[in-house]
Amino acid sequence: MSNEIVLLRRIEELEKLIQRQPEVGGVWQDWTPSWSAAGAMTISSVSLNTARYYTLGKSFTFFVDSKFTLGGTANNAVIFTLPSGINPVYFAPCGGWIINVSGLEATAAYVRNTGVGEARPATGLNWTLGVSKRISIFGTVEIS
């Protein structure tokens, strides 16, 4: 068999593989997270600016940016769901920022192997209650 025929067969096999596994291309997709807060803190008036992700093999890359109002009793975490079917292998830190007390602040953000992400003030203090809060979080983690 000539090298050209072998190469053509390999190309056909690869095309079939890509058709069966569209995530091979790492296509960006939208998702709509569900939102909650730790303890007796409440979250409302959520305005989602963007929530986008892609998978590539066993990697999950995401970006979420949202504004909201916090009420109830102040606590330390705003929680959001990851896209359906995304299961991080381990607890993993992420990057980002929040708007909380005095404007732009660093965040302690991460995703859990339970299918949720969390954003906390990096100061270790609770979120302050009120309107015009915001998170902007991004990360890449291993998924199962």
Domain residue extents for the chain: 23-142
**Alpha-carbon gap, residue 92 to 89, rounded angstroms:** 9
Q: Could you tell me if 89 and 105 are in contact, meaning their C-beta atoms sit under 8 angstroms apart?
A: no
Mean pLDDT of 5-27: 64
Share of the chain above pLDDT 90, in %: 67
- CATH number 2.60.90.40 given to 23-142: yes
Confidence of residue 103 (pLDDT cuts 50, 70, 90): confident
Rounded-to-integer distance, Cα 86 and Cα 121, Å = 25
Residue 8 scores a pLDDT above 90:
no
Which pTM does this prediction carry? 0.80
